[in-house]
Each structure stands twice: as structure tokens, then as C-alpha cells.
Amino acid sequence: MKRSLGYIKAFVLVAIVCLLFGFAEKRHKTRNISKVEVKFTDSENLYVTEEVVNKLLIQNKLSISSIDKETLDLNRVESLLNKHQMIENAEVYLTIDGKLKAEVSQRKPIGRVVGNSSFYLDKNGDLMPLSEFYTARVPLMYGFDGANFTKAYALVNHIKNDEFLNRHITGINRLKGDKYTLELRERDFEVYFGDSSNVALKFNNFKAFYKKAQKEKKLDTYKKVNLQFGDQVVCTKK
């Protein structure tokens, strides 16, 4: 009899604990979200701002004052943010204290097309619109449009990822037949690159030439530097 009574007490205790836990869990889920926090993984260049992200959520009926945890669809929130043209990836999650947090990675431009239509070429080789909040310091691309800008991706991407080239090259001109010339900062000679083949070899030769000519103080004596042959640099003096 005593043993049976012990079992009954234990059962009742477990039932009460489960009931309280279920009640607390339900109350927790139905509690409204207290705050939205947006964190940018690269905060130095804001092509899209925290205010824009918050407005995007509110415009899509995700106002924190009108939605609870029970009905929030995190996948939908992420999908809404990832559709924005300046966002590369967004991860959204809820904290225990009721905060909705979004970690946002922005798209990264590597070149800017200038002409009848202006836009960026991003690090993945895709078209990226200009931002009203920030202008990227990237090489300007002339003679390009929406149909041919990706052909120069290997060239532009190499420049962006090389500290020396990124510091000295300010412009890329597209010629007929998808040949290219380069504009340099504070130098008036033309750099004829040719097509987009052998990019690494051509640039390695150019850097070796530039550093040697700079050391010998001869950079101002040239009017054209030709890199198209790949295995050599052909210079024309003024």
C-alpha cells in the first residue's frame, strides 16, 4: 500500500511539472518579440543600412509589435532579406529573451561600370546596383554594358585581390574585340592589356616592370606599355 502511494505521488509530481513546463513554454511562444537587432558582418561599407532592413521587415508585416514567436516564420524572414539586391546572405534567429536578431552579409563590388547605365560588378561576377548610401572605391569600367561586363571578371577580380594593383589601377577601358587598356593613378602612360587571357602572368610582368622603372626613375619616360604578349613587356618611349 505504501509502495502504491509512493508511485501515485511520483506520478502526480511529474504531471504537475509537465503541466507547468507546458504552460511556461506556451506563454513563452506567444509572447511578442521585444526587439529587432541587425548586425552587419562587414560594417565599414554600408551599402544597405539597419534602417532599411527594419523597414523591409515592417513593410512585410513583420512588425515586432504585432507578431509573436508562435507565428514567426524565420525562413520567411531570411527569404525576404535575401531578396534585397544589396544583401548576399542573411541569417535570422530568436534569442531566449525575445529578441529577433539578423546577421547580414552585404554584396561586395569589385568594379563599377560607367556609361548609359551604371552598376557594379560584384565579387561573384554578377551585376549589382549602385547604393544610395555608399560609393565603393573600385576601378571604373568604361565601354561595358549588361551584355559584356562579365567577360572582364577575371581581370577585375585579380586587380581587386592584389594590393599593389588595387592601389595603382583606377580604370579599365573595353576596346573592340574585348581587348582592354588600363588607367593608372598619377601616371599618364597607356597600359595595353590585350584580351583577358594569362591575367596572372601579364600582371606579374607589369608589377616587375613598374617597380624596376620606378626605382630607376623612368616611369615618366614612357607613353605606352604593352602587356598583350604575356611573356614580356613592350614599352614605347615618349
Task: Name the stretches of the chain with pLDDT < 70.
Answer: 1-34, 43-44, 58-72
Question: Which domain CATH number covers 85?
Answer: 3.10.20.310
129 and 188 share a domain? yes
- Would 22 be classed as within a structural domain? no
Residue 28 CB partners (closer than 8 Å, separation 6+):
69
Q: Is the same domain home to 160 and 180? A: yes
Nearest to 96 by CA among 34, 155, 38, 147: 34
Q: State which of 106, 132, 159 marks the end of a domain.
A: 106
The whole-number pLDDT of residue 7 equals 46
Query: Edge-to-edge strands of the sheet including 99-106?
Result: 35-40, 99-106, 87-94
Please indicate, yes or no, whether the overall pTM of this predicted structure exceeds 0.85: no
102 and 121 in contact (C-beta within 8 Å)?
A: no
pLDDT (tens digit per residue) in 42-91:
766 788 888 888 777 766 555 444 444 544 677 887 888 899 899 999 88
Integer Cα distance of 121 and 136 in angstroms: 11
Choosing from 81, 106, 131, the residue where a domain stops is 106
Beta-carbon contacts of residue 77 (< 8 Å; ≥ 6 apart): 57, 62, 92, 100, 102
| Overall domain count for the chain | 2
Compute the mean pLDDT over every residue in the chain, rounded to the nearest whole number. Answer: 81
